[in-house]
Chain A
């Protein structure tokens, strides 16, 4: 059974810091991995998607890496801003046919202080 874990559960940093969020998964047989952002009481917004054949993806100040063999992914946020405060969730998809069934971690709640 695939399990996804995110550490830490919460993180508070001053504005301008670079930071890393961690995601680990128990079964390396994944199709892809996504990082989402969730603002309080809101839905999810996809930030980055990494296919199983890729090592990393970048979008602006965000960089996500994937190491299937070790069952790990990291989300790197450069020069953090107060607007980055949110909960960040990683999710894995197990196969090309299970398009809807994403398995999520419990999330890391980030607070960036001005």
Chain B
């Protein structure tokens, strides 16, 4: 049983560009959350998707947007990249909105030059 998978593993972009990160949840899970983890910091919640809708959002600008597909996979899009967007982006999946158990993927390391 595959756990949470994310692609790509690493990504290098330049300022002003746009990026799309992808996440496939663990089998049987229907809820996906995205986190940003800057170097040396704890993860910060970006948003959560359930039933193809954004259900909760953290304190991130509108440059950060997402999508959830009918198969429960999800994308995170970041527009007009800034140097400060360089981070490890983590995806977590769970079953339903109230589950205590979240499984995290290995993350996508984004470097903005």
Contact = CB atoms under 8 A, between A and B. Distances in A.
Contact of B90 (A6, A32, A44, A101): A44
A98 B33 CA distance: 11
B104 A97 contact: no
Interface residues of A, number: 26
A114 to B, nearest CB: 25
Contact of A43 (B42, B55, B100, B104): B104
Interface stretch (A13-21, A64-72, A102-110): A102-110
B106 A101 contact: no
Interface residues of B, number: 30
Contacts of A100: 31, 33, 45, 48, 55-56, 92, 94, 97, 102
Contacts of B102: 46, 99-100, 102
Contact of A45 (B35, B98, B99, B104): B104
Interface in B49-104: 55-56, 58, 88, 90, 92, 94, 96-102, 104
A96 interface: yes
Contacts of B33: 100-101
A4 interface: yes
B22 interface: no
A101 B45 contact: yes
B45 A103 contact: yes
Contacts of A75: none
A104 B106 contact: no
A42 interface: yes
B21 interface: no
B105 A99 contact: no
A101 B56 CA distance: 8
B107 interface: yes
A83 interface: no
A99 B41 contact: no
Interface in A38-94: 41-46, 49, 89, 91, 93
Given A43-B107, A97-B97, A104 B56 contact: no
Interface of A: 4, 6, 32, 36, 41-46, 49, 89, 91, 93, 96-107
